[in-house]
Chains A and B, each alone.
Chain A
Amino acid sequence: MDRNIAGVTIQVNEEGYLTNFAQWNTAIGDALAAEADLALTPRHWEVLNYLQTEFKNDSPLSIRKIGKSGVVDIKEFYQLFPTAPLKTASKIAGIPKPASCI
């Protein structure tokens, strides 16, 4: 479905995840973060950039993997994106909801 955010129209799924990463930009990231009551700091952006790089490499993401990434440890990841960090961060980064397996 379409939605308007940060002055542009983007496609999102029922849960609000972008369905086309090409439509993402940093203003959209900031706006999505604001909806989750977050103000993005440079530290948030380092993590978001890492997630996007992994996504572009078709490399599936998990909390475990992020903990071992050297970019951020799990504790800090939770501090940056409280409650369900991988989901929140993926939504802001404009990448699909992590497939949590079967």
Chain B
Amino acid sequence: MKRILILGAGTAGTMMANHLHKELSPNQWEIDIIDEQEEHYYQPGYLFLPFDIYEPEDIIKPIRDFIPHGVNLLIEKIDRIVPREQYVQMENGDRLRYDILIIATGTKIAPEETEGMQGEEWKKSVFDFYTFNGSLDLRNKLREWQGGRLVVHVTEMPIKCPVAPLEFAFLADSYFKNKHIRDKVEITYVTPLSGAFTKPKATTALQHLLDEKHIHVETDFAIERVDNENKMIVDYGGREIPFDLLVTVPTNKGDDLIARSGLGDDLNFVPTDKGTLQSKAWQNIFVLGDATNIAASKAVSVAHFEAEILTENIKRFIAGEPLNAEFDGHANCFVETGNGKALLIDFNYTHEPVEGTFPLPGVGPLRLLKESRLNHMGKLAFRWIYWNMLLKGTHIPFVSTHMQEAGKEFA
């Protein structure tokens, strides 16, 4: 009996467990999946929790409910991978041998990377919304906050779901409008990039919305420290931005287990072939989701497209056939823009987000890069699709793994 080990039962690991269970013969392959948590968190929900749009129970479910029978789920913290000897060392001392390893341990926030971020004001006037607890604490803070200077801040790139902090600023604008205190709140969006988003085309569309909502933008801000005493953030050039409430996205890093295994770059992301998803260091180690270093967005949709391609490649690897260098970096994301609207962006390694319709060329019904109510419904429907289709590895009708060019307006 041979063994495939999947590290991490989050979005990407769960998808792989479902795919491989369907594809591999149970007489030849044992499939094990490991996670340190009992619960699966729907992370896109962390954006809505602070604004009382979702409740905690909307976004947490037992991991076990999504792992098919026949796949072994182990709840245990992974200490390290020992690739040379093909085993994984668990924190409790157990060793698990593998023939093929899939790394899907995602990324975590690392506020300790920035001086003062976890100082006196942490959880008083400095919050994150990239963790369940952070998002919940922020909800409680916002419920009682009377207004002042709200600063929404991104520490450094890459971060998972790079549009989430912008969406946060948009949703904050409508939240305070609905509370009738928008005139008491000043919203500033602070980014290390030179514009609102990483891709120039989408930046133009988003900048327009920022202006319309009176959200002030500070670009090229590389934070040096959080000054707790004077409640401001300071960058390496000495620029100071004062806040009454700071909502920050701290540095995102891969899990420390990657560093302990000697498999990561300086942010613990695993060097991975961007087409085949094979790790650069070891042939029998594959990587997908947020854990890779590839230049694709760290998003659910990306994990979904990657999982389809990786399943194919694992079958090829087992059969001794050459791998398919197929992954094109395809991502699509709904961007919540507040007031019950959203826009949709679709892009890959080479194409920027474009205008047009999705998923059916010329028909839609979703319009790319245009704000609409239907797109917002799409974003909310995404939760249902996530729990009921994406995690189970169901192919989404009409949405192709590769980015389609028909129906889109390329410049």
Contact = CB atoms under 8 A, between A and B. Distances in A.
Interface of A: 62-65, 68, 74-75, 77-78, 82-85, 87, 99-102
Contacts of A100: 157, 192-194, 198
Given A99-B295, A101-B295, A78 B156 contact: no
Contacts of B296: 102
B43 interface: no
A83 B237 contact: yes
B107 to A, nearest CB: 13
A101 B290 CA distance: 13
A59 B220 CA distance: 22
Interface of B: 156-158, 162, 192-194, 198-199, 220, 222, 224, 235-238, 266-267, 295-297, 331, 347
A78 B194 contact: no
Contact of A102 (B235, B266, B297): B297
Nearest to B158: A101
A34 B334 CA distance: 43
Nearest to A84: B220
Nearest to A81: B237
A102 B236 contact: no
A32 to B, nearest CB: 18
Given A100-B198, A102-B295, A102-B331, A82 B237 contact: yes
A85 B156 CA distance: 15
A75 B156 CA distance: 16
Contact of A83 (B162, B220, B266, B347): B220
16 contacts: A64-B156, A75-B224, A75-B236, A78-B222, A78-B237, A78-B238, A82-B237, A84-B194, A100-B193, A101-B198, A102-B158, A102-B162, A102-B198, A102-B199, A102-B296, A102-B347
Contacts of B235: 78
Contacts of A82: 237
Contact of B266 (A65, A77, A85): A65
A23 B347 CA distance: 32
Contacts of A99: 295
B194 to A, nearest CB: 7
Contacts of A101: 157-158, 162, 198, 295
Contacts of A62: 156-157
B194 A74 contact: no
Closest 4 CB pairs of A and B: A84-B220, A78-B236, A101-B158, A78-B237
Contacts of B331: 102
Given A75-B236, A100-B157, A101-B158, 15 more contacts: A63-B222, A75-B224, A77-B236, A78-B238, A87-B194, A87-B220, A100-B194, A100-B198, A101-B157, A101-B198, A101-B295, A102-B198, A102-B296, A102-B297, A102-B331
